[in-house]
Homo-oligomer: A and B are copies of this chain.
Amino acid sequence: MTPVKVSLRSGAVKVVTDNKQVPNHSRSHRARPTMDDVAAVAGVSRGTVSRALNGGHNVSGPALEAVQRAIRKTGYVVNQHARSLVTQRSDSVAFILSEPQDRLFEDPNFNVLLRGCTRALADHDITLLLTIAGTEEDRKRVGRYVTAGHVDGALLVSDHAGSPLLRELKGRGLPVVTCGRPLGHEREISYVAADDRDGARQMVSYLRSRGHRTIATITGPLDTSGGVDRLAGYHDVLGEGDRRLVVSGDYTQASGEAAMERLLAQAPDIDAVFVCSDLMAAGAIAALRRAGKRVPEDVAVGGFDDSKVALSSTPPLTTIRHPLGRISGEMVRLLLGHIAGEPPAAVILPTELVVRGSA
């Protein structure tokens, strides 16, 4: 480690230690040790260090130990870019939220899904990158980013039909799994979804069984599978002579409130409403209350999601539970399989009626 002065052709002087140039600190980063540094300290070749790092196969006990000591001593951390360049893998996947950012924070489903995916990926030592693509411009940036090799695959949440993002990812050959049916791409893209249609059937059947006759529905956006499938379930149950009252919201509380007001104006005699998310149901209840209606005595309200809001709402919501934990687990499983070369698949998970006070 004796510093040695070496004069360069230009006349400048650099200080050299052990035949290696002293790192310059101009970029304010301390120069990072490389695998060669580790190899030198450990007294083995770079290849052995690499093997020690990647599972330790074909490395003798003493060599392994020497490498580990050298890593500790030098503070070595692998350079992911170099590794990825040769492995063609980045060991990270994108969680793409194709929604305005506010939705992320308002909708409790995303929270649960995000946590579930992070955890499932962590088991495989894969990092999750959260990307929010609310605007068209964001979606372009995200498209460029994920196709530049930054990630091995993408979990796409809440994409709307016709969005160019899905098409682009697919076109680039990036493994993708969507949450919810990818409308119009069901055959080429893997997805995991709750059985929305059946859940809706369960709820509307339940409302009828309680004697309600004029059952309205507040749907989600009709360019998402949750929107269309739950609406389909509603129609499945209603008969020939039944009045159909349909208004759409966008899953936010405010939209539920507005939708309920419109329904009330359309048909003041409504005695039940199936609302396609708990958050919108909370909004609907607020609107009903303002209109002087009691819940559930005058109007029964059924929600969807069985999220936190269902419990904190007054009265607590009768709702449909979908297994978000399992959904995230299956999404990760499918994506990793896809990355490993397996063909696409769809997973549909059952939903369940939860009866509480609102209906």
Residues of A bordering B, CB below 8 Å: 26-30, 32, 75, 77-82, 84-85, 88, 90, 92, 101-102, 104-105, 108, 111, 114-115, 118, 122, 127, 129-130, 132, 141, 144-145, 147-150, 172-175, 338-339, 341
Q: Is the CB of A175 within 8 A of B141?
A: no
For the complex with contacts A77-B148, A102-B111, 20 further pairs of A-B residues with Cβ separation under 8 Å are: A26-B341, A28-B175, A28-B341, A29-B173, A77-B149, A79-B148, A79-B149, A80-B81, A80-B150, A81-B84, A81-B90, A82-B85, A85-B85, A101-B118, A104-B105, A105-B105, A127-B141, A127-B145, A129-B130, A130-B130
A128 CB to closest chain B CB (Å) equals: 9
Interface centre among A80, A114, A144, A338 (most CB of B within 10 A): A80
Q: Is the CB of B101 within 8 A of A114?
A: yes
Q: Sorted from nearest, which 3 A-B pairs have the closest CB atoms?
A: A130-B130, A30-B173, A81-B84
Q: Is the CB of A80 within 8 A of B338?
A: no
Task: A351 to B161: give the CA distance in the assembly, Å.
Answer: 44
A119 CB to closest chain B CB (Å) equals: 10
Contact of A111 among B26, B101, B173, B338 (CB under 8 A): B101
Task: A69 to B341: give the CA distance in the assembly, Å.
Answer: 32
Collect the chain B residues with CB atoms within 8 Å of residue A78's CB. 148
Collect the chain B residues with CB atoms within 8 Å of residue A174's CB. 29
Contact of A81 among B32, B111, B149 (CB under 8 A): B149
Interface centre among A27, A105, A144, A341 (most CB of B within 10 A): A105
A110 CB to closest chain B CB (Å) equals: 8
In the complex, what residue of chain B is closest to A86 when comparing beta carbons?
B81
Collect the chain B residues with CB atoms within 8 Å of residue A27's CB. 88, 341
Q: Is the CB of B108 within 8 A of A105?
A: yes
Q: Is the CB of A81 within 8 A of B77?
A: no
Task: A129 to B111: give the CA distance in the assembly, Å.
Answer: 17
Collect the chain B residues with CB atoms within 8 Å of residue A173's CB. 28-30
Task: A171 to B90: give the CA distance in the assembly, Å.
Answer: 25
Q: Given contacts A145-B127, A148-B80, are A111 and B105 in contact (CB under 8 A)?
A: yes
Collect the chain B residues with CB atoms within 8 Å of residue A92's CB. 150
Q: Is the CB of A115 within 8 A of B101?
A: yes
Task: A102 to B112: give the CA distance in the assembly, Å.
Answer: 9
In the complex, what residue of chain B is closest to A142 when comparing beta carbons?
B127
Collect the chain B residues with CB atoms within 8 Å of residue A82's CB. 81, 85
Interface centre among A30, A81, A130 (most CB of B within 10 A): A81
